[in-house]
Every structure is written in C-alpha cells, then in structure tokens.
C-alpha cells in the first residue's frame, strides 16, 4: 500500500461515527457473503477511508472490503496510491453507488453541500442500491471530529438519529446543533421536535453538573438518562452512552 497525501484532513475526523458503525453494523457485516462497505464522498485525501477500513477490519471482520467513491475524478486519481485491494479500493461514483451492492454506506459531510430538497432523493438512491439488510449512515461532523450527528437508514427509510460528542471538550450539548444532518439543521427552531430534543439534552446536562466531579462521562450518562426519563425514545443500550452518544428513533425528530 502506498503512502497517501494526508493534506489537511484530520485522520480522526470520523472516529466517532466509525466507532458507532463498528458497533451498529457489525451484525449485517458479519453475516454478509461479501462484506462490502462504501465510503461515499471521501474528500481531498483518502485518509478517512483508510481509517474506516482499519477500524472495521480490526473490530468486525478482517476481510472487510471498503470502496471509497468520489464524484471528483481528480480525487479518485489522487487516492489510487493508497489502494490495497481487495480490502481497500477507490473509484468514481455518486449516490447510485457505482452499481455496487454494499452492506454499509458511510456518507459523511456530503449532503451538507446540497440543498435540503435534494436529501430525500439522495437517501432513496443510496438505499435502493444497498444489499438486502444493508444500512446507510449519513451525517455531518466538525473538522476535528469533536461533534457529529448522523441518520441511520435501511431499505424502508430513516430509522434513528445519533448525536455524538467528544466529552472532554464538550461545553454544552447545544453545540451539536451546528452539525445536525442536512435533513434537520434548518428545522432547529423553537416548536420543532429536534429543537425540543436538544433542549432536553441541554437541560439534562445542566442538571447533571454535580456529576462533572466524576468526569464528563458520568455527567453525559446522567443527561441521557434524563432525556430518556422525559419520554424520548432512546434506542442504544446505556453502555453506549458512555461513548458520548445519544441515539433516538427517527420518528421522534423527523421534520
């Protein structure tokens, strides 16, 4: 495998979502005859695609096959030296997924460049091309990967929203609003469900301030517990909360 140009992309930028993918998508990946994963729109350097392959190979199955797809041919050519087939390949492709049938698609920081009106069609084009039982993870994060939010979709449609933060540097969960997925970011105004969820999380975080003595993880776990007690359909088991995650059913926040 060649040495890629790392450019200015932070290799850890997508660590949070990758950690969640390794947990949430492990079952279909392990069951698949061909454990194919697509990283759609990997950007100026292939470094986050390489990180995804390394994480899934270590945590889920060593024979995972990750394909980075880019709409920009210059970016495909630039990534080529990093290819390590069959585990890591790069090709030109868009939402139709280049005719491949992946078990998992990660599309991070791609739809944020589009109009909100393009989201549903893009989601549908990608999910129509998944393998049976396949999953799409679509979302947004900040440059350093400190905060990120993503939607999980299957062949039926959106299933959940995950909010995730690096707790050591988190001021208040309200900052997650800056990186909501395209489908939600313009709806975060008083009176909407996403706004109410972020407010519930902020309230829980504030109320849990005394637990900060035991570290931000304890405080976050208490805050998520408060969100669940307030009636929000929190999906992931409490063991995930300590990673700085909150996952709720999509129906609870859908605009």
Ligand X SMILES: C[S@@+](CC[C@H](N)C(=O)[O-])C[C@H]1O[C@@H](n2cnc3c(N)ncnc32)[C@H](O)[C@@H]1O
Q: How many residues bind ligand X (CB under 6 A)?
A: 19
Residue 172 CB coordination number (10 Å): 12
138 binds ligand X (CB under 6 A): no
Pairing of strands 36-40, 104-108: parallel
* Rg of the chain, C-alpha, whole Å: 18
Among 40, 130, 136, 176, binds ligand X (CB under 6 A): 40
Site for ligand X in 48-107 (CB under 6 A): 48, 69-72, 75, 94-95
Q: Please report whether residue 110 would count as binding ligand X according to CB under 6 A.
A: yes
Q: What helix, strand, coil percent values describe the chain, rounded to 5?
A: 45, 20, 35
Tell me: does residue 16 bind ligand X (CB under 6 A). no
Hey, what are 25's tokens?
A: 């998508």
Alpha helices in 39-141 (DSSP H): 47-59, 73-79, 119-128
Q: Which is nearer to ligand X, 110 or 227 (CB)?
A: 110
CB contact at 8 A, 77 and 42: no
| Phi and psi torsions of 106, nearest 5° | -110, 120
Query: Do 145 and 166 contact (CB within 8 A), yes or no?
Result: yes
Minimum distance from CB of 254 to ligand X (Å)? 23
Q: Is 146 an interacting residue with respect to ligand X (CB under 6 A)? A: no
Stretch that binds ligand X, among 9-17, 76-84, 150-158, 245-253 (CB under 6 A): 9-17
CB of 227 to ligand X, least distance (A): 27
- Rounded to the nearest whole angstrom, what is the least distance from the CB of residue 152 to ligand X in the complex? 17
Applying CB under 6 A, among 4, 38, 42, 201 the residue interacting with ligand X is 42
* Helix ranges, the chain (H): 15-24, 26-31, 47-59, 73-79, 119-128, 182-185, 193-207, 216-229, 238-241
Q: Which is nearer to ligand X, 70 or 245 (CB)?
A: 70
Query: Least distance from C-beta 207 to ligand X, angstroms?
Result: 33
Give the shortest CB-186-to-ligand X separation in angstroms.
18
Residue (144 or 212) nearer to ligand X, CB:
144
* 109 lies in the site for ligand X, by CB under 6 A: yes
Helix (H) or strand (E) holding 70: strand 65-70
Q: Examine residue 86 and say whether the peptide bond preceding it is cis (omega within 30 degrees of 0).
A: yes
Answer for which of 4, 35, 43, 148 binds ligand X (CB under 6 A) is: 43
Footprint on this chain of ligand X (rule: CB under 6 A) = 9, 13-14, 40-43, 48, 69-72, 75, 94-95, 108-110, 113
């Amino acid at each position: 495998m060649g040495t890629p140009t790392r450019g200015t992309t932070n290799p850890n930028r997508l660590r949070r979502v990758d950690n969640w993918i390794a947990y949430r998508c492990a079952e279909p990946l392990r069951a698949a005859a061909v454990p194919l994963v697509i990283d759609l729109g990997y950007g100026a350097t292939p470094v986050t695609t390489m990180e995804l392959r390394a994480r899934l190979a270590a945590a889920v199955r060593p024979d995972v096959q990750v394909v980075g797809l880019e709409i920009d041919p210059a970016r495909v050519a630039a990534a080529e030296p990093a290819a390590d087939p069959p585990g890591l390949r790069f090709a030109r492709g868009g939402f139709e997924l280049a005719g491949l049938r992946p078990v998992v698609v990660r599309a991070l920081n791609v739809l944020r460049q589009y109009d909100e009106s393009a989201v549903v069609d893009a989601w549908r084009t990608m999910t129509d091309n998944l393998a049976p039982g396949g999953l799409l993870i679509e979302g947004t994060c900040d440059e350093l990967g400190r905060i990120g939010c993503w939607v999980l979709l299957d062949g039926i449609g959106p299933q959940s929203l995950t909010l995730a933060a690096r707790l050591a540097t988190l001021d208040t969960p309200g900052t997650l609003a800056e990186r909501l997925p395209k489908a939600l970011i313009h709806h975060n105004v008083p009176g909407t469900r996403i706004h109410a969820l972020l407010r519930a999380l902020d309230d829980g975080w504030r109320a849990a301030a005394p637990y900060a003595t035991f570290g931000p993880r304890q405080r976050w776990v208490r805050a998520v517990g408060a969100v669940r007690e307030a009636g929000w359909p929190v999906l992931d088991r409490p063991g995930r909360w300590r990673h700085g995650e909150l996952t709720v059913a999509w129906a609870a926040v859908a605009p």
